[in-house]
């Protein structure tokens, strides 16, 4: 049976062109800061995000953790959406390792606005924590942050002397979907991470970007966390290749997600968050069936999906072609879920 893997965009494998770029990469010891390909990637990342400097890190989680470690700080609080990746999927590392207490804010699709922070900023009392940071995720569940919200958040942060970190794991998806450059999104945050290993199709790696002083400190914290790697040029070459060749093609993933969402609506058996489908992620629920039950029924048809709470999640990616999408849509349209027994 043919399988369509829509569990995530992290499951992608390097393309032939990417493998060639990796094989011929010039390398050096990056802990000595002597890897020319990594230096080139970091310079490009700084340029693309409009930040002074960037640092190659092993994962999005590590990038977020380092930023929260430095700009959050032990015993301090960070304001973030309750469904943010740092709360839901990073194993409490920001509390366990960075020592920061996340204050979870409920928001539709996880998109925060400044008015939700009112009364939540603490500081000054000897027996209370201090709020130091706001964390936003863009895209969040595939949804692009409206600039208006980011503007309000930035103003609020500067009024209250807070820093802003953007988990931009999929910020290139946002750029392609909205036409708003990554640099513009990043301008609303002091620090930003973006991932190479998701829609951009690389095997490993993320970039953490910020000002000179922040990145100097980040270098130390990365080493402390065991994240100092040696001949990283092999991985950075994949990143450079992806930033040159795999950004514009994200539009295909977005078109595929929209087609899948439309076919689910036509099928009539799923409640789809159609408005939320702005990039490569589709969320839906099925009446009287848990997300896990739906995922297991879809797997029998060769469609691999994931759950997020009660919802089923499908993520389009570079491994799903136009033809795959047409076949998938036809399967989904004809599918009739078996009732819960």
Does 42 contact ligand PLP by CB under 6 A? no
- Segment contacting ligand PLP (CB under 6 A): 24-32, 54-62, 127-135, 149-157? 54-62
Please select the residue that binds ligand PLP; options are 135, 167, 190, 293, rule is CB under 6 A. 167
Does 197 contact ligand PLP by CB under 6 A? yes
Does 222 contact ligand PLP by CB under 6 A? no
Measured from the CB atom, the residue of 134 and 169 that comes closer to ligand PLP is 169
Between CA 171 and CA 192 the distance in angstroms is: 9
**Minimum CB separation from ligand PLP for residue 27, in Å?**
22
In the three-class reduction of DSSP (H, G, I as helix; E, B as strand; rest coil), residue 158 is classed as helix
Does 199 contact ligand PLP by CB under 6 A? no
Residue with tokens 């011929």: 24
Between CA 28 and CA 85 the distance in angstroms is: 33
- Segment contacting ligand PLP (CB under 6 A): 31-39, 56-64, 311-319, 321-329? 56-64
CB 79 within 8 A of CB 120: yes
Does 59 contact ligand PLP by CB under 6 A? yes
CB 86 within 8 A of CB 135: yes
**What is the enclosing helix (H) or strand (E) of 101?**
strand 101-105
Does 206 contact ligand PLP by CB under 6 A? yes
CB 39 within 8 A of CB 186: no
What are the phi and psi torsion angles at 191 (to 5°)? -135, 150
Does 85 contact ligand PLP by CB under 6 A? yes
- Segment contacting ligand PLP (CB under 6 A): 41-49, 58-66, 263-271, 322-330? 58-66
Measured from the CB atom, the residue of 168 and 286 that comes closer to ligand PLP is 168
What does the H/E/C string look like for 40-100? HHHHHHHHHHCCCEEEEECCHHHHHHHHHHHHHCCCEEEEEECCCHHHHCCCCHHHHCCCC
Does 67 contact ligand PLP by CB under 6 A? no
Between CA 171 and CA 153 the distance in angstroms is: 17
Between CA 166 and CA 139 the distance in angstroms is: 10
Between CA 262 and CA 254 the distance in angstroms is: 12
- Residues 233-292, interacting with ligand PLP (CB under 6 A): none
Residue facing ligand PLP at closest CB distance: 60
Does 135 contact ligand PLP by CB under 6 A? no
- Segment contacting ligand PLP (CB under 6 A): 53-61, 67-75, 319-327, 333-341? 53-61
Size of the site for ligand PLP (CB under 6 A): 11
Measured from the CB atom, the residue of 30 and 90 that comes closer to ligand PLP is 90
Measured from the CB atom, the residue of 35 and 167 that comes closer to ligand PLP is 167
Distance in Å from the first CA to the final CA of the chain:
26
- State the residues that interact with ligand PLP by CB under 6 A: 10, 59-61, 85, 137, 167, 169, 195, 197, 206
């Amino acid at each position: 049976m043919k399988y369509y893997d829509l569990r995530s965009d992290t499951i992608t494998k390097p393309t032939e062109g990417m493998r060639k770029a990796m094989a011929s990469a010039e390398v050096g010891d990056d802990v000595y800061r002597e890897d020319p390909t990594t230096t080139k990637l970091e310079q490009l990342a700084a340029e693309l995000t409009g930040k002074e400097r960037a640092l190659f890190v092993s994962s999005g989680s590590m990038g977020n953790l380092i930023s929260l470690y430095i700009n959050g700080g032990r015993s301090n609080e960070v304001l973030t959406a309750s469904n943010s990746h740092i709360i839901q999927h990073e194993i409490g590392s920001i509390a366990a390792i960075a020592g920061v207490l996340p204050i979870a804010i409920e928001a539709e699709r996880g998109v925060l606005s400044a008015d939700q922070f009112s009364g939540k900023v603490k500081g000054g009392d000897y027996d209370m924590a201090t709020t130091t940071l706001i964390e936003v995720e863009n895209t969040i569940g595939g949804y692009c942050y409206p600039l208006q919200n980011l503007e309000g958040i930035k103003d609020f942060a500067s009024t209250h002397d807070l820093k802003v970190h953007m988990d931009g794991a999929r910020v290139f998806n946002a750029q392609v979907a909205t036409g708003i450059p990554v640099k513009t999104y990043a301008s609303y945050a002091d620090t930003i991470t973006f991932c190479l290993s998701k829609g951009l199709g690389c095997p490993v790696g993320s970039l953490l970007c910020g000002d000179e002083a922040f990145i100097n400190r980040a270098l130390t914290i990365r080493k402390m966390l065991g994240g100092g790697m040696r001949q990283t040029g092999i991985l950075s070459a994949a990143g450079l290749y992806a930033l040159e060749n795999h950004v514009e093609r994200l539009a295909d993933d977005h078109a595929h997600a929209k087609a899948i969402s439309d076919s689910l609506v036509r099928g009539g058996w799923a409640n789809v968050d159609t408005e939320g489908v702005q990039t490569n992620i589709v969320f839906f629920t099925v009446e009287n069936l848990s997300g896990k039950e739906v995922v297991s029924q879809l797997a029998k048809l060769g469609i691999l999906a994931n759950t997020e709470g009660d919802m089923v999640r499908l993520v389009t990616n570079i491994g799903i072609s136009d033809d795959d999408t047409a076949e998938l849509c036809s399967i989904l349209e004809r599918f009739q879920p078996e009732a819960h027994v």
